[in-house]
Amino acid sequence: MESAAVRILSRRMVRPTTTATGNGHCRPQKEDVEVIHLTPWDLRLISIGERGDGTVTGAELVHTVAPEVAAGDIVSSLYTPVVWDFYSFNEVLGADAAVSGDLPVVSLALFAALLGGGASDGAAVRIVSRRMVRPSPPTKTTTATGNGHHHPPKEEDDDVEVIHLTPWDLRLISIDYIQKGILLPNPPVTGADLIEAMESSFARALVRFYPFAGRLAADERGDGTVTVSLRCTGEGAEFVHAVAPEVAAADIVSSLYTPPVVWDFYSFNQVLGADAAISGDLPVVSVQITELADGVFVGMTLNHSVADGTAFWHFFNTWSEIHRRGVDGGELSTPPPVLRRWFVETIPVPIPMPFPKLHDIVKRFDRTPVQECFFTFSSESVKKLKTQANSEVAGDEVSVTISSLQAVLAHFWRAVCRARRLPPEQETFYSVVVGCRGRLNGIPPGYLGNAMVIGKAAATAGEIEKRGLGWTAKLLNRAVASFDETTMREWLERWAMAPDFTYMDNLSSAGTAIVTGSSPRFDVFGNDFGWGKPVAIRSGAGNKADGKATVFEGPDRGGSMSLEVCIAPDALARLVADEEFMDAVSSPAGRPAGVMRG
């Protein structure tokens, strides 16, 4: 089968130009046909015992071209890209040739690639360079573990700090890396000068966040259990320079729909957190600086088992301030992270998971086709939804206050039920991330790691449509309020006894669920690297499933919000055409392209 990148020009059968014979044991069965009987070594690999003979019709010769594939695409990454498409007979068994009687036993593909300067990770995005950036100055090398649980590392690791992962961390090792990034105006310098400066400030930010320069390690203990830790080896984080001279800011921000090229602004697409622990040498952080026609996109990829969205943007805020102000250390206004992991006192550290190998928890799924839209709600629109929701629940026996976010998400939930054309009796779910910082003693605001649980609201599509915005928002309010310190501690203890993991296929529940991550409280648009605040925020391909909605602060800040919505194409088309939903949406999320030019 041809792929989008590889096109087949011709196939032909090539016959020998001279007569071939055996090696002394030739037993011609017919006058002009030589028969070679297969040995046990041969038959063991063919999975069929039939005997037969046939004429030699030749070997297959295939001519293909892939003008958008460069040599660097093949050799510059740990991961193997489009290479499978360089071969014929993919997933064809040896027995298939014997059964059919007419399949050739040899096929040669002549592959013509564009061996140009640099790798091309997409038609519009070209990778110029990849390198590992280590913290500068060198990383700390003392030993640290959990919250009062001091467990020295193995003797051979005496000079490497080991951070054991918590239940919050381990639960997310089965999903993709986090991928978030910002679109910036044109910088005063470009090319090598820009990249050198960005790399320098990135290395200085890694000093504070030195665990991000480490590597995950899985310890298969031989007793049927496996543990995972983050080793602060200082090997570095990946730093990628890319160019996309034919992509303009307007291509990204001028439409409700997110263009596919945005996914090429990130590394490690569809790489799971567990892949890094299994390999032992994949970085846990990668940043890609992509120079556009009239701006720069800074995309960051982070292993979700290492940290959550709060820690992600904490690092981003630190990096941008270092670059903008040219300072670091105690001169930074962004507070330093708290590196010590927090564990409930009753669970073992490290946590032994009941699997012989980490491979046993990995599941890979077909990625259902989805489309993305970016909807922005102005501060006035958010206030209007919040006022409406609170007025609708004002007379309820149990008094609640609907938040701005709950009102926006309730409005979205109701619209998605309509867009999906769910029958009234169909149960639908909404999962929201509930942060543990501030809800659990011992988890400070600057905690570097994962500190969140998932609150789940459920109702039928008919109830959501009939009972209105306030009732729907109240379901979300209850889902969040159901978590307090006691329930969170209990959840952590249960997980350590019976680990369960988050998987891509359970994010959407066959098109009946929604899951929302991130937060409008994250300081996205404060990431000024010194030549202007971000123009837009967009995320990569990581964890994109039908029903995924990511919330951000709006570009105008001041209470505005944006929703990056990922659902099936037919449902998304109906959502965009839903007047009730779109009445609350302002213009496409982003400023006019003119602001990009300096």
Could you read off the pLDDT of 324-382 as tens digits, one per residue? 999 887 789 999 999 999 999 999 999 999 999 999 999 988 888 889 999 999 999 99
Instruction: Calculate the CA dihedral of residues 307, 311, 313, 319 and round it to 10 degrees.
Output: -100
Q: How far apart are CA 475 and CA 429, in angstroms?
A: 10
Token pair, residue 2, equals 């041809």
* Residue 25: band (very low, low, confident or very high) from pLDDT cuts 50, 70, 90: very low
Average pLDDT over residues 321-325: 97
Average pLDDT, the chain: 84
Among 61-75, 108-122, 546-560, top mean pLDDT goes to 546-560
Q: Where are the alpha helices (DSSP H) in 48-190?
A: 71-75, 94-100, 167-170
Per-residue confidence band for 148, with pLDDT thresholds at 50, 70 and 90: very low
pLDDT tier at 322 (50, 70, 90 boundaries)? very high
What's the pLDDT at 288? 99
- Token digits of residue 250: 């307007």
Q: In this model, does residue 534 exceed pLDDT 90? A: yes
Distances (CA, A) of 494 to 425, 498, 500: 33, 6, 10
316 vs 75 pLDDT, higher one = 316
Longest distance between any two alpha carbons in the chain, whole Å: 98
Residue 213 to residues 115, 234, 301: CA-CA distances in angstroms?
32, 5, 13
Instruction: Give how far Cα 473 sits from Cα of 85, 311, 374, 480, Å.
Output: 49, 28, 21, 11
d(CA 349, CA 151): 8
List beta partners, residue 537: 182
3-state secondary structure 424-474: CCCEEEEEEEEECCCCCCCCCCCECCCCEEEEEEEEEHHHHHHHHHHHHHH
Q: Cite the DSSP H helix spans in 137-268.
A: 167-170, 191-208, 249-253
CA distance 111 to 115: 11
Mean pLDDT, residues 544-561: 94
How confident is residue 396, by pLDDT bands cut at 50, 70 and 90? confident
Calpha distance 401→477 (Å, rounded): 8
Q: Quick one: residue 163, left, alpha or beta (phi over 0 = left, psi -120 to 50 = alpha)?
A: beta
Res 48 pLDDT > 60 = no
Band (47; pLDDT cuts 50, 70, 90): low
Average pLDDT score over residue span 174-183: 97
Give the β-pairing of 371-377 and 119-120: unpaired
Nearest to 454 by CA among 486, 427, 476, 426: 476
Q: How far is residue 102 from each of residues 44, 53, 58, 79, measured CA to CA in Å?
A: 21, 11, 10, 35
- Region 102-119: what's the mean pLDDT? 48
pLDDT of 217 reads 98
Going along the chain from its start, the domains and CATH numbers come out as 7-119 (no CATH), 124-331 (3.30.559.10), 364-596 (3.30.559.10)
Candidates 181, 92, 76, 180; CA nearest to 130 is: 76
Residue carrying structure tokens 């994010």:
507
AA identity, residue 429:
F
Instruction: Compute φ and ψ for 125, nearest 5 degrees.
Output: -115, 125
Residue with tokens 């009987």: 37
Is the pLDDT at 76 greater than 60? The verdict is no
The percentage of residues in the chain with a pLDDT greater than 90, rounded to a whole number, is 66
| Residues linked to residue 428 through DSSP beta bridges, in sequence order | 459
Cα-Cα-Cα-Cα dihedral of 534, 537, 541, 542, to 10°? 100
pLDDT in tens, 432-441: 999 999 889 8
479 bridge partner residues = none
Confidence of residue 509 (pLDDT cuts 50, 70, 90): low
In sequence order, the β-bridge partners of residue 12 are 61
Cβ-based burial of 193 (10 A; exposed 0-12, middle 13-18, buried ≥19)? exposed
Contact 320, 532 (CB under 8 A): no
Cβ atoms < 10 Å from Cβ of 64: 20
Q: Please report the pLDDT score of residue 105 as a whole number.
A: 66
Q: Which residue has the tokens 């939804």?
A: 385
Report the range out of 81-90, 325-334, 565-574 with the highest average pLDDT: 565-574
So what's the pLDDT on residue 9? 52
Task: Report yes or no: 371 and 572 within 8 Å, Cβ to Cβ.
Answer: yes
Could you give the angle at which helices 404-419 and 379-392 cross, rounded to 10 degrees?
A: 90
Amino acid at 74: I
DSSP secondary structure letters along 572-587: HHHHHT-HHHHTT--S
CB 471 within 8 A of CB 460: no
Q: What is the pLDDT, as a whole number, of residue 554?
A: 95
Residue 102 has pLDDT above 70, yes or no: no
SS3 state at 21: coil
Buried b (16+ CB within 10 A) or exposed e, 285-305: bbbbbbbbbbbbbbbbbbbbb
List the catalytic residues.
304, 528
Average pLDDT over residues 82-98: 71
Would you give the end-to-end CA distance of the chain in angstroms?
A: 47
